Chains A and B, each alone.
Chain A
Amino acid sequence: MKTLKSAAIVFALFSLILGLLYPFAMTGIAQLAFPHKASGSMIVRNGKIAGSELIGQSFTQPVYFQGRPSAGDYNGGGSGASNYGPAEPLLHGQISERLNTLRKMNGLLPDQSVPADLVTASASGLDPHISESSAMLQVPRIAEARKMMSAVIRSIVLTHIEKPLFGTPCVNVLKLNLALDESAARKER
């Protein structure tokens, strides 16, 4: 009985320290020291939140670079993946459908191979990145849709390549598209 009483009190004290004090203190530090990052690295455009630097967004129009397929349709309120095994017929059905659309949209040859990331669903359904080659593959299409020079778009892509020390170079699709919009807007002015 004495053990139960001790157990209950120790549990209550630790719940207070670890369950309230600790997360509240951490949130306080976070909001003081890194307010932008701790709140989700939001991008504000024209006074409105346009998305998060870290969270991918759905792009379907030909004027924008497209990100990776998402099993959850880029729903930032509920992350998720396809969870299909490597031999699953449903997965390969999806892949061949995506390959067809991608090739048609970008004027590729019917048997041209494409980078894996553009036709496979990410783990989070919110992957903000695509590979460098996946971005380059879309440049001609975007140039045509926006009536801009391919070289200009390619140079925008090149400035947005993130090269981590121990990983593959990749491009943040949302930031890239924002830059694209900006450069188009500058041209109009």
Chain B
Amino acid sequence: MINLCIYSLFLGLSLVFGGILIGRYMANILTGNKGKFLTWLTPFENLLYRLAYIDAGQEMNWKTYTWALLAFNGIGLVFLFALQLVQGILPLNPDHLKSVRWDTALNTAVSFMTNTNWQSYSGETTMSYLTQMLGLTVQNFLSAATGIAALLAVIRGFIRKNTQLLGNFWVDLTRTTLYVLLPLSIILTVLLISQGVVQTFQPAISAETLEGGRQTIAVGPAASQIAIKQIGSNGGGFFNVNSAHPFENPNLFTNFLETFAILWLPTACVFMFGYMLKNQKQGNVIFAVMLMLFLISLGAALIAENQGNPLSERAGIAHGVNMEGKEMRFGVFHSVIWAVATTATSNGSVNSMHDSFMPLAGLVCMFNMGIGEVAFGGVGVGLISMIFYIILTMFLAGLMIGRTPEFLGKKLGPFEMVMAMIALLAPIVALLIIAGIAIAVPEGLASLNNTGAHGLSEILYAASSACGNNGSAFAGLNADTRFYNILLGIGMLVGRFATILPALALAGSLAEKKLIPTTQATFPTTGALFAIMVAAVVIIMGALTFFPFYSLGPILEHLVLYR
């Protein structure tokens, strides 16, 4: 018990230090102040711009920025879709996997482009090494960089005044990828390999077991993909069971590294925000809000999962410990920490099967995704969602004190409110419609792996994961059907672009406003009152939206189990 407290404290402190370190580094590098040790890379960066006919000095307004972002994501989508359709005839496919079915390929392409990394396929039996590298790994990087680029535009909207210019999308994208994501991934890859994560182009290995049977063991260039899947809030595993697979996550040290990597850049983004604003206190307060939400989730999930399964206990399992769908080397504790981290951010990788969690622990995961993953959120987009919640909070505060709401010296008018409401409500509405359709038609119900209330939970979880761009699953649901591939694909697109597009429009509108000076009557946004209000708005809004649905799923299941 004491050990686990020390571990949690250590993880928390590593995050604060790691987050501040990288947050400050990002604030510098992404605003063009390369340290001495990176200037040697400038020629490469400039060569890339020259090859692509990009004028790096030319800044964009919000519409041009958005158009560049969409064009880039669109090309990525088409390429990844096409690559899967023809992987059967391409090289680097030692296990001779066939080309991917069109609906699976489409779902996967949308999934990786939107940073969701929902996987209706099973990695080792569906995707060739070439697809995993040239298709999936590339999107892992680029979708994460896209999220950070969008965040940078929003931050500039707050910093700048009386201008239309929000920065250059290509520059933001390139610097994020080359100076932040790639170096961190290289370091993590090497650390993971040193612990036993596989990285090879050999085909699957055939072993002769001790009892004389044969065991096929899938391998592949996994470590390089796992590193960025954790760092970039992606979460799409190389193997079917993701980081529960011993080759993705062989021991507690890799488990620590991967858990840390899930939370690292999302945390760093918050500190980067403070540094870029030259108002570190603001970054710290938002971090505190997120930490508060995270600890509430973690506490609730740990309590729920450690209660154990009363049915198993009656049958004769010591203490009813719920080890179904968990790995021995992680146990209940490390599985729950990961589950909360992966759903509180938009990562979605797993080291245990959430489908087999106790009902209320599963509920915590669903709730984390349902509120839009704001503690600490996905890279870039997590903080964007949090900023939308803050705008909503400032509106409520403005109503209470009878002043026009403002945040960081910018007046928040009807346009900003509309954008915030679209970004906060569209994913939720899509979630509920998708879940509603799935429980209303036979194609939706045919994929269920569990009966009763848990079946509803499986569908609710899938919809939450898609619309929250998370990617984790109650994996019993067979989502590799044309029905779910298309339905959830739509959910992922809504979840991603109903956040990013309003965010860019918001940035454009904010940048054009003037900065108003802080007065005595300004509602302070760096104090405890602000922090508590934001956290309350997040929780209340989520609870009001989801309680009716959760009461028929996980809550009902809980009551039946413990009656």
User: Which A residues have a C-beta under 8 Å from some C-beta of B?
Assistant: 2-11, 13-15, 17-20, 22-23, 26-27, 29-31, 33-34, 37-42, 48-61, 64, 68, 74-89, 91-92, 95-96, 99, 111-117, 119-131, 164-168, 170, 174, 177-178, 181
Contacts and interface: CB of A to CB of B under 8 A. Distances in A.
Contacts of B324: 82, 84, 86, 91, 120-121
B213 interface: yes
Nearest to B331: A168
Contact of A26 (B186, B209, B330): B186
A55 B217 contact: yes
A89 B451 contact: yes
B240 A84 contact: no
A27 B224 contact: yes
Contact of A31 (B138, B200, B330, B474): B200
B316 A112 contact: yes
B317 A78 contact: no
Contact of B241 (A8, A34, A81, A86): A81
Contacts of A88: 450-451, 454
A3 B352 contact: no
A173 B59 CA distance: 60
Interface of B: 3-4, 6-7, 48, 51-54, 64, 67-68, 71-72, 74-76, 79, 122, 124-125, 133-135, 137-138, 141-142, 170, 173-174, 177, 182, 185-186, 189-190, 193-202, 204-211, 213, 215-219, 221, 223-225, 239-241, 244-247, 250-252, 256, 309, 311-313, 315-331, 333-335, 350-353, 355-359, 449-454, 457, 474-476, 557, 560-561
Nearest to B198: A40
6 contacts: A10-B174, A86-B357, A123-B353, A129-B327, A166-B7, A167-B334
Nearest to A92: B311
Given A42-B205, A177-B210, A79 B215 contact: no
A85 B52 contact: no
A83 B211 contact: no
A81 B246 contact: no
Contacts of B325: 81-84, 120-123
A62 to B, nearest CB: 11
Given A18-B177, A20-B133, A81 B190 contact: no
Given A3-B67, A58-B209, A167-B331, A87 B454 contact: yes
Given A26-B186, A37-B193, 15 more contacts: A3-B67, A19-B135, A27-B224, A50-B208, A51-B209, A77-B204, A78-B122, A78-B124, A79-B218, A83-B353, A84-B324, A92-B311, A117-B323, A123-B351, A168-B331
Contact of A124 (B137, B320, B327): B327
Given A86-B311, A124-B245, A164 B252 contact: yes
Contact of A37 (B196, B215, B352, B476): B196
Nearest to B215: A76
Contacts of A50: 207-210
B322 A80 contact: no
A41 B219 CA distance: 11
Contacts of B207: 42, 49-52, 57, 76
A122 B51 contact: no
Contacts of B219: 39-40
B221 A23 contact: yes
B209 A123 contact: no
A123 to B, nearest CB: 4
A123 B476 CA distance: 12
A111 B316 contact: yes
Contacts of B189: 26
Contact of B318 (A13, A18, A84, A116): A116
A92 B257 CA distance: 35
Nearest to B131: A19
Contacts of A19: 133-135, 137-138
A15 B313 CA distance: 52
Contact of A113 (B246, B316, B334): B316
Contacts of A53: 196
A164 B318 contact: no
Closest 6 CB pairs of A and B: A83-B476, A85-B454, A123-B244, A76-B217, A19-B134, A77-B216
A176 B234 CA distance: 37
Contacts of A20: 133-134
B182 A39 contact: no
B457 to A, nearest CB: 7
Given A38-B193, A79-B240, A4 B133 contact: no
B247 A164 contact: no
A54 B206 contact: no
